[in-house]
């Protein structure tokens, strides 16, 4: 297969599967996390800077109620007591609408807010914007609003445990 044909397949794959292969985020550990305001499953607005003074997990995921996204959310759900005990706020973000988030939360007993990025603006800001779905990526933010960890690759099975460990190491 020649190089030009391979490039076309890669670009087509990026478009079809929503992977973020063509743009990179300028976000760097130690910098302030970009502020945003998005509605949750109840159409209540959440602004990241309103959580200053708390540690925050912002995780982007492709789609409600798909196998890997469900594993990731349920893993956090199963460890949510530890997140709560450690004053860690969890915010999940996808392109799904409020109704989809409500269904997902009810079906799986998700105890944290899922935010709706239907115009993909926050996903673009965080370098997770894909054509159909955002890339699976997580950002840990300290009490001062600074990025302390960026997960470019997420193991959906161990993600909650990894996040808790990384926050405990960055108190």
For residue 48 the two structure tokens come to 């990241």
Rounded CA separation 126/106 (Å): 28
Rounded CA separation 22/169 (Å): 33
Q: At the topology level of CATH, where does 29-169 sit?
A: Glutaredoxin (3.40.30)
Q: Name the DSSP letter for residue 1.
A: -
Rounded CA separation 126/23 (Å): 11
Known catalytic residues are 69
pLDDT digits (tens, 9 = 90+) for 87-102: 999 999 999 999 999 9
Place of tokens 């193991």: 155
Mean model confidence pLDDT for the chain: 87
Q: Report pTM.
A: 0.84
For the chain, what are the domain ranges? Answer: 29-169
For residue 18 the two structure tokens come to 């929503």
């Amino acid at each position: 297969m020649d190089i030009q044909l391979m490039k076309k397949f890669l670009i087509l794959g990026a478009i079809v599967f929503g992977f973020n292969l063509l743009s990179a985020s300028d976000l760097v550990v130690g910098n302030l996390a970009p502020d945003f305001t998005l509605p949750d499953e109840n159409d209540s607005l959440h602004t990241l800077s309103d959580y200053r003074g708390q540690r925050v997990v912002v995780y982007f995921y492709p789609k409600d109620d798909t196998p890997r996204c469900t594993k990731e959310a349920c893993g956090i759900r199963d460890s949510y007591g530890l997140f709560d005990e450690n004053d860690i706020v969890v915010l999940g973000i996808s392109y799904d609408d409020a109704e989809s988030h409500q269904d997902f939360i009810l079906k799986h007993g998700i105890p944290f807010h899922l935010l709706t990025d239907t115009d993909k603006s926050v996903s673009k800001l965080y370098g997770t914007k894909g054509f159909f779905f955002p890339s699976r990526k997580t950002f840990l933010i300290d009490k001062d609003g600074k990025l302390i960890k960026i997960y470019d690759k997420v193991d959906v099975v161990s993600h909650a445990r990894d996040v808790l460990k990384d926050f405990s190491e960055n108190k």
